[in-house]
Amino acid sequence: MDTISPSEAARRLGTSLPRVRRAIERLGLDVERRHGSRVLLSESQLEQLRSELGVVPSIDGLSRVETQVLAALARAPRGLATVRAVARRASVSPTAAAGALRSLAERGLVRREREWVAAGRARELELVRADVTAPEWAALAPRLAAVRLPFRRERRRPSRLPARLRHLFWNADPSRLDLRRHGGYIAERLLSSHDLDGLAWGARALTARDWEKAARNRGLSAAERALARNLARRARG
């Protein structure tokens, strides 16, 4: 079985050797040790490190944090409303995200726009988006697509709908919907609404059983049922 050193793992992941060593300790990886202090990692252990640390290839002119923030915004075409939301998506601290947003905006890679959104009730928000019209974007896009952001661990599964999605459930009382009891119904509504923000939230919050129940609903289109099956497989891991 092929093994690699922590320094090679750091090179492949686009990070530093100290971060790899700290992750090995944090994850409690049972690494192979040779000649005293020499450490070797298996392919499965490298994959665990990929999930923990992400894969952030070096992009000329961008720091690691800027790369993570811009990659997160590139995957949120509708924009993100707060620095904390950006930080959460990019798996960086709010302070680091704020600094990266400032520098990216100065380069014309990020723009802020005010927009009315339905978030329980209509309200105006300032959304942050990647500026895909920037002259540099064509060269950056394929590099950003190769970024694999660190896995975000949810503290716990939510039990209620977030306020920003309640408008999708106009014929029900959203305050009475409970994810444990109504997960299948919520999945069906998210699928039929084609709301990207709602589907992204549902992919994190709903279970495989919820999506499987939705996939059996003949009221959904074939494409919507296929998406439900894909989301069920993703939820099973």
Tell me if 58 is assigned to some domain. Answer: no
The pair phi, psi for residue 140, each rounded to 5°, is -80, -35
pLDDT(139) > 70: yes
- Global pTM? 0.59
- Say if residue 21 is in the same domain as residue 87: no
Ramachandran angles phi, psi of 101, nearest 5°: -60, -40
**44: in domain:** yes
Tell me whether strands 38-42 and 121-130 are parallel, antiparallel or unpaired. unpaired
Whether residue 9 lies inside any domain: the answer is yes
Does residue 155 form part of some domain? Answer: no
Instruction: Give a yes or no: residue 156 inside a domain.
Output: no
Write the CB contacts of 70 (distance below 8 Å, at least 6 apart in sequence). Answer: 62, 100, 104, 109, 110, 130, 140, 144
Residue 68 and residue 134 in one domain:
yes
Q: Are residues 91 and 140 in the same domain?
A: yes
Residues 139 and 96 in one domain: yes
In this structure, are 73 and 141 located in the same domain?
yes
The per-type count for the chain, helices as H runs and strands as E runs, is 11, 5
Same domain, 139 and 168: no
Q: Can you give the pLDDT at residue 175?
A: 78
How high does pLDDT run on average in the chain? Answer: 87
Whether residue 152 is contained in a domain is answered as no
For residue 158, tell me if it sits in a domain.
Answer: no
Q: What is the pLDDT of residues 53-111, one digit of tens each?
A: 888 888 989 999 999 999 999 998 888 888 988 998 998 999 999 999 999 999 999 99
Count: domains in the chain = 3
Q: Are residues 32 and 88 in the same domain?
A: no
Based on the domain organization, do 70 and 49 belong to the same domain? no
**Range of the structural domain that residue 215 is part of:** 163-236
